[in-house]
Every structure is written in C-alpha cells, then in structure tokens.
A and B are shown apart, each in its own frame.
Chain A
Amino acid sequence: MKRILSLFLVLTLLFSLAGCAKGKETAAASEGVTDTQADKGLEIMGENVKYDPNRLVNGGEPITIDWWIWASEELFRSIADAYEEIHPNVTINIINNPWDGYFTKLPLALQRGEEGPTLFNVHNSYENLVLNYMEPYDIDTKELTADYPSAASHIMDGSIYYADYGLSTGMIYYNKDLWKEAGLTDNDIPATWEDFIEVAQKLTEYDENGRMVRAGFNYNNYFYSLALGLNYQFGDNLFSADGRTCLADSDGMKQAVSFLTGLYEEYHIGDKDFGTDCEQSFYQEQSAMVFVWGFFVGNLKDNAPDLEYGTFELPTRDGGTPYAYYRYNGESTPGINRNATDEQKEVAQDFMRFFFANDEVQIALSQDGGLIPARTSLMDSEELKDTPIVKTIGDHIDRYAWPGAMPSTVENNMKIATEDILYNGKDVDDALKTAADTISIDLANIDFTSSESLYTYYEE
C-alpha cells in the first residue's frame, strides 16, 4: 500500500512538472497561422504617422505577444482583434491585471526579460518604475508630435517611450432630473463659484429633522483631487519654477482648500459625512452634482445607464478666463518591453504605429475613457464632438495646465492632508505643511522635474 502511495505521489509530482514545462512551451509558441499575403488591398492609415497594412510582420510567421492592461479589457481586446485581422499570423494575449499591485508586478515581470509582456499599459505617475525597461518607439518624433502635440512633452533624449492617446480632466456632473425638479434650466449653468453655490443650495435637501437627504454638491472622496489643480485659480502653481519642489502648502493651495471646506461648512451644500463615495452617491441620486474626472462617463454607462446627466466646466472666481481652470493629465499609450525578443519587438513597433495611425482606434479610446483625443485632428470628428468632455472643455483645453507625470507621493500625501482637514479638524496650514514636507523627502529620492513651465500661459 505504501509503495502504491509513494508511486502515486511521485507520478503526481512528475505530471505537475511536465504540466509547468508544457505551459512555458505553449506561451513561447504561437497559436496564429502563417500569413503569405502581404498586399491585402487595404488603405494606408494616418496623417503624419502612417501605417501601411499591406506588408508582412515577422515575415508572416506565427508569433505571440502578451499585452498587460489593468482595465477596459473589452476595448483593448477589440484593438488587438483589429490588428490580428490585418496580420493573422500575430496572436496578442491580453492579460488583465487588477490596478492594485499592477505597478508592483509589472516591473518584476519586465525584469524577467523576454518572459515579461511585450506590450504593457502605462500610467504616467509610475513612469520612474518602468522607464528603464522601455524601448523607444520606432516612429519619427516630428511625425508623432505633428499628430499628437502633447507627445512633445514626452521626448526624452530625442526619443519617445510613451505618449498620450487622450487627455483627461475633472468636470462637474449634474443630475438632469434633479436639476429640473429644482426649477433650474440650462441657463442656470454657473460660470462663477458664487452662482455655483446658489444653484447647489437649491439642489440640497433636508428632512424634517434637519438631516441632509440630498447633497447639492459632493466632492468627498475626491477632495484631494479637486484641490490639486484648483490652486491655479487662486494664484499659485503646483510646482516651483525649477520644477523640483511641490508647492502643496502655497497660499493658493491653502485658499483653494479653505474655499472647498467652506462650501460644506459655510454654505452647507454638501456634507463630509453624506455620501462618502461621491460616485456611488451620484448613482443613487443622493448627490445632485459631483466632481469627477472624465473616466466617470464610462462608469456611469456601466453602473447607472438610465441616469440622465449633464456636465459643465469648473466655475471660476469672477466668471472670466482664469490663468488655468484646473489641471489635466494624459492617458498613456502602451510601452514596449526593451528585453523582448527582436521578433516580438518588431511586432510591437508595428502594432504601435497601427495604434497611432488608426482613427477608429483613437476614437474608441476617447469615447470609452471620456477623453479629449490627444490627436487633435479628431476633436471635430462626428463621433467625438458631442462627447461630454469635448463639448464641455474641448474649446479651451489650452487653459488647463499639465504639471507633469506627478509621482504618486503627491496625490497620496494630499489625500492624507485633505482628510486630516475635512474629517480630523486639522488646521489647513499644518496639514498642508506636513504634506509638502513629506512630498519633498520623497521627491528628493526620485528623478522628477515638473513640466508645468511648459504650460502655454506660464508667464502670465
């Protein structure tokens, strides 16, 4: 009996090892077919960055590459499918990892050389973790910046390792039914903060015991996000002139933060304890207006498809054009693994040219992510001109500043500071000073310089 059991255990071990070996072999080989037809009679795509689909990649031989993403699997799958349709010898495995831990796993995977993903999605706040493992795009930088002007800010030593496919920023989302119920019309869309407060007060409701049952405006879990950028309206940049120090405790930031807390404490248009997650609260129609970035368009489509909503831009202090309304950030294009095999890199370079040159790909990306297309010529396209963000902000995106690929320490410490102010009653000056000091220590260990000085109106 013992011998049989031992034999069984040994066989199990051998099968397990064989199973692992087989798995590795499968990953290296391809599931695709051989492509022998170079000229498929397809049109050349693109304006400045051009893509010729009538040529073979990898000599038409089957090849597989992995593409790591953290969200929107369906969208990225459809892009990979469109490429595979042109090049049936290429198989792109989409590997969807959760956001939490993505930037811990990715650098470790890339350290394994060609075993890591050939393509991987990038978030610019984690640039310093992955840049060492990235191959520059094999695309002329002049051509790329002609189509994608924001790519100019991503040139490093004459090369571009990743660029933006779309620009995102924050907006006010309002519930159209609640708006109508409060007797408000499109003419009431506020241009000044004063008007905004008036509108929000009309939308706020309390029960007979004085308990809030609907918030006019809710920024609770995005307090830090709203504050980081509102400083421009209050006269200060986010970074020092040399771009090395975060001005988290500037007078402008202190005023912005105090103004936002005043919306709750002085004007009672919302409450820190009412709807701690402002997105959920908006879905439940408990908050009439919320501040969220462009991605909320996609979330609303998935989580509250029947909710009628509109968007408007952040008001300003006097209703005029400010130095900058707020900040924006780019959604980054995929990176290419420097240590992938030459064949895999050839396919990845070809794929990225397709990615940049293909209008449909860019339109789908902007629609799904609630983005302003970084390829500016698409801004007037039929598919995008009526999207909430293009309609609301598209005309003067130039009045939104980009502080650069801010390391995550900036947002993390501002989140702590704003929670300390809102929930723990900490003094604004003290909380922001603590944040500024901690960010300074962290930035000293990172090679980061803000791009804020590149802002068009920086000298104003």
Chain B
Amino acid sequence: MFKRRPLQSKSEVWMRNIAMGFLILYMTIFLIIPVVIVIAGSFHQWNPLNETYKWIGIDNYIRMFSYPTFWQSMANTVIFCAVVVIFRVLLGLAIAYALNSKMMRHKTLFRTIFYMPTVTPLVAVAYVWKIMYNPQFGLIDNIFGLDINWLFDSKFALIALIAMTVWKDFGYAVILFLSGLMSLPSDCYESAGIDGANAWQTFRYITLPLLKPTMLFVVVTSIISYLQAYVPVLVMTEGGPGTSTYLSSYLVYDQAFKQYNFGFASAISLFILVLTAIFTVISFRVTGAQES
C-alpha cells in the first residue's frame, strides 16, 4: 500500500498550497464555471449577443432528440471516429513497428517525415486537401484518372474528410507506439527467441499485450479529440452537401455561432460530454478487464 510521505517543511507546504490553489482556480474558471453555464443555458432560449435568456425547461432537449440533423451528425460522428481511430492505430502501429526494426535505416529521417503532417496546422492542411479534391483541377482525380466530386458527393464527402484526417494524424500514433516499443523489456524477446517463437507469435503474444497501455492512451485520446472534430468540416464542406458531413461538434458550432441558438447548442454539447465520458469509461473498463 502506498504510504503518504509527510511534508518536510513550511516552504514545501506553501509551495503545495500555491500550486493547488492555482490549479483549482484554473479549473474553476476554465472548466467548472463554463460547464455550469452550459448546463443552465441548455434549459433556456439563450442568445448572449442580444441578451436573450428565457427559461424554456427541457424544450432544447426535446428538440434535440426530434431534430433529424442531430441524429445524422451523431451517426456521422460515430463512423468518423471509429474509422479514423482504427486507421490511426493500425497505420501508427505498423509504421512504428517497421521503424523500430533493426533492419530499418534512416530512422530519424522517416520519423520526421511521418510526424510532419501532425505538426502542420490543421486549417492549412484542410485547405490544401480541399484543392486536391477539386473535380476539375484537383490532384487526386487527375493522378488516379477519376471523375469524382469528392466534397459535393454525399457518398464520398465523409470518406474524403476521413482520409485527410488519417493522413494528418497518424504520425502522432507512430511516435507514441515507437516510444512504447522502445521501452519494452528485451529479456521477454530473448526468452521468446529461445522458445522458438516466430515473428508473428512474438508480436501477437509479447509486443501487443505489453503495448496495451500505449494503445489505450492512443484510443482514448483519439476518441475524445475526434468527438470534438469540426475544423475539417468547417474548412472543407461546411457540413454539406446538405447536412451529409455534419459532425456533432460542427452542429454545436453551427447552432451557436451561425444560428445563435446557444441554448440548443448547449444541450447538444452536454450530450457530447456525457457520450465522451461513457466512451472513456468503457475503454478503461475493457482494458482493465483484459489486464486482470
């Protein structure tokens, strides 16, 4: 059992109190107060720009559940989240595994190349991809000899957003998996070698289980960030064609900052908050159960 170490001196106590004080103040101002305001706002017809604030009970929630665009945006968000997370993990793990191999040369160069999209501003990347998707002069149709209006065809628009997001973000997973792989104990691999395990068996029964904490971190942080994704939609499709690429966070942005229905947007935000919390708990539970 972890035993608490008594604080050494008065100055240490002061230091702790100051640090905790700032942290509590920060969390109160930037987290607790906004969440309370959003909870209260979700029960009001609320537009802070013309100072409208009228109690309407649960009307915003009733409207939310009967609003077709809400359900479409939730379905899009689940698809977007699931596909991007799967590709991010698979690509990230595969490339990290390759980069960690003893046969691999110029590791630093490849690490830099793969990480470069991650550090490039998202808005800039989204604009470049928007041009690449243009059906008349875009790179993608011209290179592959296709005739697809990527961002204006509801069959392809969400796929186009997913492809851009995977390209932009897989480097983050590469770096995390690589650091995870580099920290794995070598004696496990030596034992496996002595026991005659082949490459696949080593990966399946040693590498993968040992990488589980990294995997959990990548999956959970990805889910949280993709439930909040709206910049690619804003830049590339504005939710269109029609509402076919609305993601839940873009719907919040649209309702709050384009339609000025802050109360309705607050209700949707709270729903997303609860959903994110549920996903996170499930992820922890699943991994925890597997570990035990």
Binding site for B on A (CB under 8 A): 101, 103-104, 107-108, 111, 128-132, 211, 272-276, 281, 286, 408-409, 412, 415-417, 419-420, 422-424, 426, 431, 434, 441-442, 445
The main secondary structure of chain B at its interface with chain A is: loop
B105 is an interface residue with CB less than 8 A from chain A: no
A130 CA / B47 CA spacing, docked (Å): 12
B100 is an interface residue with CB less than 8 A from chain A: no
Binding site for A on B (CB under 8 A): 45, 47-52, 63, 68, 134-136, 147, 149, 151-154, 239-244, 257-261
A304 CA / B254 CA spacing, docked (Å): 33
The answer to whether A275 touches B136, judged by C-beta atoms less than 8 angstroms apart, is yes
Q: Which residues on the B side are within 8 Å of A409 (C-beta)?
A: 259
The answer to whether A424 touches B154, judged by C-beta atoms less than 8 angstroms apart, is yes
Mind listing 12 A-B residue pairs with CB under 8 Å?
A108-B48, A128-B50, A129-B49, A272-B152, A276-B151, A286-B136, A419-B242, A423-B152, A424-B244, A426-B242, A441-B63, A442-B259
A359 CA / B51 CA spacing, docked (Å): 38
Q: Which residues on the A side are within 8 Å of B244 (C-beta)?
A: 424
Given contacts A129-B49, A412-B258, A412-B259, contact A274 B242 (CB under 8 A): no
Chain B's nearest CB lies how many Å from the CB of A456? 32
Counting chain A CB atoms within 10 Å of each CB, the highest count among B45, B49, B63, B244 belongs to B49
Q: Determine which of B136, B149, B261 lies in contact with A442 in the assembled complex, contact meaning CB atoms within 8 Å.
A: B261
A422 CA / B149 CA spacing, docked (Å): 13
Given contacts A419-B240, A426-B242, contact A108 B259 (CB under 8 A): no
Chain B's nearest CB lies how many Å from the CB of A332? 17
The answer to whether B68 touches A434, judged by C-beta atoms less than 8 angstroms apart, is yes
Quick one: closest B residue to A417, CB to CB?
Answer: B242
A128 CA / B261 CA spacing, docked (Å): 13
Q: Determine which of B50, B135, B241 lies in contact with A423 in the assembled complex, contact meaning CB atoms within 8 Å.
A: B241
Chain A's nearest CB lies how many Å from the CB of B270? 20
Chain A's nearest CB lies how many Å from the CB of B179? 31
Known: A108-B48, A273-B149, A419-B152. 5 other contacts (CB 8 A): A107-B49, A272-B152, A274-B136, A281-B136, A408-B259
The answer to whether A211 touches B258, judged by C-beta atoms less than 8 angstroms apart, is no
Q: Which residues on the B side are within 8 Å of A130 (C-beta)?
A: 50
The answer to whether A108 touches B152, judged by C-beta atoms less than 8 angstroms apart, is no
The answer to whether B49 touches A108, judged by C-beta atoms less than 8 angstroms apart, is yes
Quick one: closest B residue to A128, CB to CB?
Answer: B50
Counting chain A CB atoms within 10 Å of each CB, the highest count among B151, B153, B260 belongs to B260
Counting chain B CB atoms within 10 Å of each CB, the highest count among A107, A131, A419 belongs to A419
Quick one: closest B residue to A425, CB to CB?
Answer: B154
A125 CA / B239 CA spacing, docked (Å): 21
Given contacts A423-B154, A423-B242, A424-B242, contact A211 B147 (CB under 8 A): yes
Chain A's nearest CB lies how many Å from the CB of B97? 41
A426 CA / B153 CA spacing, docked (Å): 13
A357 CA / B177 CA spacing, docked (Å): 70
Q: Which residues on the B side are within 8 Å of A281 (C-beta)?
A: 136
Across chains A and B, which 6 residue pairs bring their CB atoms closest together, nearest first? A423-B241, A420-B242, A107-B49, A273-B149, A419-B241, A419-B242
A273 CA / B136 CA spacing, docked (Å): 9
Q: Which residues on the B side are within 8 Å of A422 (C-beta)?
A: 241
Chain A's nearest CB lies how many Å from the CB of B50? 5
Q: Determine which of A101, A274, A442 lies in contact with B257 in the assembled complex, contact meaning CB atoms within 8 Å.
A: A101
Q: Which residues on the A side are within 8 Å of B134 (C-beta)?
A: 276
Q: Determine which of A104, A276, A416 lies in contact with B242 in the assembled complex, contact meaning CB atoms within 8 Å.
A: A416
Q: Which residues on the B side are within 8 Å of A434 (C-beta)?
A: 68
Q: Which residues on the A side are within 8 Å of B258 (C-beta)?
A: 408, 412
A75 CA / B160 CA spacing, docked (Å): 40
Q: Which residues on the A side are within 8 Å of B135 (C-beta)?
A: 273-274, 276
A286 CA / B241 CA spacing, docked (Å): 22
Q: Which residues on the A side are within 8 Å of B149 (C-beta)?
A: 272-273, 276
Q: Determine which of A131, A415, A420, A423 lies in contact with B153 in the assembled complex, contact meaning CB atoms within 8 Å.
A: A423
The answer to whether A132 touches B50, judged by C-beta atoms less than 8 angstroms apart, is yes
